Structure formats: C-alpha cells, structure tokens
Amino acid sequence: MTVKELYAKIGGNYDHAVQIMRMDRLIEKYIRKLTASPVNTDLQAAGAQMDPVGLFENAHAMKGVCGNLGLDALSKAASDLSEEFRPGNPRTLSDEQVKQRLAEIDRMFQTAVDGISSYFNG
C-alpha cells in the first residue's frame, strides 16, 4: 500500500498533506505519530466532564493536527466543536448533541488510527 492509498482508505486528503509536507517520507513520519497522540483521549475526557475549556482546547488542537495531516473531515468536525466552546461564543448544541459529535469524532479518529496502524504494521 502506498501513502496515497492509505489516505484513500482512511478518508484523508493526500493532496492536501503533500501541499503541507511536500514528500511521502514526512507524511509517514507525522501521520505515524497520530497513533500515539493523546489528542482524542484528551478530547473525549473533556467531553465526559463537559469541561468547556478542555473541549475548546482539545478540539482546537485536534483541528490543527488533523488539518496539517490532510485529515480534512476530522479536522472540520473538531473545528465545529471547538467553535461551539470558543470563549465568548454562545452555545448552540445541547449536551446530548455534543456527546453525539464527540462519538462521531472518536469513530473517525479510530478509523484513521486503525488504518495508519495497519499501514505500518502490515
């Protein structure tokens, strides 16, 4: 499997990742790190507590990490959640809707991590 095929498998935007990192070797280096990143665990923990500061900070971090890796759908989902909890923004989602979004982010993140792990571990 090539890096481009990995991106197709996990729903990523390979062309976007190449624009940022310029070469497959760098994409591989950084996407591999996502499997050990605490960004999703920290976001889910903040969501379990409905901690607005933690939700904003961790969703914002996930938006940046996933955006730089070309994981556009995951970055967008995290961005939408971060805006919900951005200081000064009024809440528009119920706690239940936030939990549903967190579950969807977790599902997308796990799909990406599973695909990345299989890419590197055969």
At 10-69, the pLDDT tens digits run 999 999 999 999 999 999 999 999 999 999 999 999 999 999 999 999 999 999 999 999
Domains, the chain: 3-121 (1.20.120)
* Mean pLDDT confidence for 116-121: 95
Cβ contacts of residue 10 below 8 Å, gap of 6+? 71, 111, 112, 115, 116
Q: pLDDT value at position 66?
A: 97
pTM for the full model? 0.94
Q: What pLDDT does 118 receive?
A: 95
Share above pLDDT 90 across residues of the chain, in percent, rounded to a whole number: 99
Instruction: Let me know: does 54 contact 42? Beta carbons within 8 Å.
Output: yes
Give 122's pLDDT tier (boundaries 50, 70, 90). Answer: confident
